[in-house]
Structure 1
Amino acid sequence: MSACARLSSLLLAGLMLCAPAWAGPGRVVSINLCTDQLAMLLAAPGQLLSVSHVARDPLSSAMAGEARAWPENHGQAEEVFALRPDLVLAGTYTSPATVALLRRLGVPVETFAPAQSMADVAAEMRAVGRALGRAAEAEAMARAFEADLARLRRDPAAGPRAALYYANSYSLGDATLSGQILAAAGYRNVAAEAGLRSGGTLPLEVLVMARPDLIVEGQPYPGAARSEEVLSHPALGLAAPRRAAMADRDWICGTPYVLRALQELRALTP
């Protein structure tokens, strides 16, 4: 080997040693609403190939506008496989058949459980960041979230009482992300007082008799549904002095946008 060739080889080796190591997958597809949003926030430029079509739904997604920058998918194994991903991000409630088929085809799939607490929100940021090879960026985002939460959080022990109320008289207790948002805003949860730890039915009669200070209602969806008729029942007007309809998109997933829901609740505090 000539001296010039040896020098070129040494220079190339030196450049390779000095170059920052990229440990993350280069081609990522998300097929879950919550991982969609965390991936959009954390992925490196060009790393994320596609997000689920639900990410573009303004009723469900806090990043519906941003999601239009990526091609959408419908969570079908065939269309995802055709994108040749190095990693697929999914939820624990994603179709087991889809996840199993992708894995049989040799596609790595990481599944993430829905956040049920504020601690889960920060943990989910860090977990998705690790999966993407973006741990440092995820750590910065999680720390900023934790700092903002500490600044905004109120003690609910002696705070006003509120009820989350949705179609079919559905409500949520303290062992849910929505219940934790309510508590962080300084409200005591009427559903929890009635014995609901997670989600379940809170009969209208029980709600009226509980006399909460605030009823937080789900946002009506397009189309007529008898399940939503309870939200227009005249008794709700007698049940609480204040009612507020809030967009579901900020309550569904463990993302930094839960702080927007918390701030809206704080603004309603008597």
Structure 2
Amino acid sequence: MRISDAIRGAAAVLVAAAMPAFADGSPTPSGEPAPRRVVSMNLCLDQIAMRLAAPGQLLSVSALTADPDMSPLADRTAPYRLNHGRAEEIYLMRPDLVIAGSWISPATLSMMRNLGIRVEVLPPADSLEAIGEQIDRIGDMLGREDQAQWLRRDFESRLAALRQPPERGEAAIYYANGYTSGGKTLAGAILRAAGYDNIATEYGIDDTRVLPLEKLVMADPDRVVSGSHMPGRSQGEAIMAHPALIAVAPDARAETDRDWVCGTPDVLDAIAGLE
């Protein structure tokens, strides 16, 4: 069962009430003063920063975070300016910290640093364990260590309650253009936590790569998790409507959605959705 938006909102209010009102400028673990003007320019990092930042501390998040098809927190972006990852627009916000993902353009990163902007680049959280580590790192950067500890403990305790033993059979993840995700991906970790063995492992796939439809059909998994259909769908999505795929586990199907996109506490909803 998915956690409703109403429950999400209520939880956010309770968490905020338990947190100090604002970053007071005291030193972070790195010895830097806690930043007061923070810009996040990555969909996944935005969602953690939004949960941890003090009121008024986070100025801007990426425009993707306001897209309800991509972000579970889209309805909470009104207080923030939306950025499009351009060095010029971010410079004009006069940030004292920019949080960026590892896919940032080298030219953009170089320009911001040459302009004297502190930029911290973080890799994606591609496992459930990495989510807690990501929360800690962003909490340290923001000078919000106590809030990060609370959020990590809450995430890990809820995850422990959701984890299922691998006794629910085999499952396949199948996306547009015939891609699947193996065990060393976030999607694979979600599948494993829900109690399923991933057929990608049988074919030696650990990362995200093409799995021929014929191999998926021959594996005959107990469950199929297909990619979500995006607005203005492409021809690449046609394979997910193939009759042979539809005939596999017709009564045990699921679809990835915005809770599968990023390594954030929202993956708990993705796991729960497979029960």
What is the TM-score when the length of structure 1 is the normalising length?
Answer: 0.88
Corresponding residue for 2:132? 122
- Aligned partners of 2:77, 2:116: CA distance in 1, in Å? 27
How far has the Cα of 1:243 moved from its partner? 4.7
SS at match of 2:273: helix
- Aligned partners of 1:224, 1:199: CA distance in 2, in Å? 20
- Cα-to-partner distance string for 1:200-230 (whole Å, 9 max, x where unaligned): 0111100110100110111101114110000
The root-mean-square deviation of aligned C-alpha atoms, in Å, is 1.2
* Distance 1:109-1:61 versus aligned 2 partners, 3 A rule: same
Bigger Cα displacement from structure 2, 234-243 vs 39-48 = 234-243
SS at match of 1:110: strand
- Aligned partners of 2:188, 2:233: CA distance in 1, in Å? 27
- Aligned partners of 1:176, 1:124: CA distance in 2, in Å? 16
What is the TM-score when the length of structure 2 is the normalising length?
Answer: 0.87
Aligned residue type for 2:148: A
Task: Report how many aligned residue pairs link the two structures.
Answer: 246
**Pairing 1:19-98 to 2, within 5 Å after superposition:** 22-23=26-27, 24-98=34-108
How far has the Cα of 1:154 moved from its partner? 1.2
Task: Find the partner of 1:183 among 192, 195, 198.
Answer: 192
Contact 1:213–1:241 (CA under 8 A) maintained in structure 2: no
* Distance 1:21-1:111 versus aligned 2 partners, 3 A rule: closer
**Identical-residue share of aligned pairs (%):** 49
**Pairing 1:159-238 to 2, within 5 Å after superposition:** 159-238=168-247
SS at match of 1:121: helix
Where does the alignment leave 5 or more consecutive residues of structure 1 unmatched? 1-19
- Aligned partners of 2:193, 2:86: CA distance in 1, in Å? 37
The structure with the largest helix share of the pair is: 1
SS at match of 1:50: strand
Task: Find the partner of 1:253 among 255, 259, 262.
Answer: 262
How far has the Cα of 1:191 moved from its partner? 1.2
Q: Kindly name which structure, 1 or 2, has the bigger radius of gyration based on alpha carbons.
A: 1
Displacement over 6 Å in runs of 4+: none
Contact 2:72–2:258 (CA under 8 A) maintained in structure 1: yes
Where does the alignment leave 5 or more consecutive residues of structure 2 unmatched? 1-23, 28-33
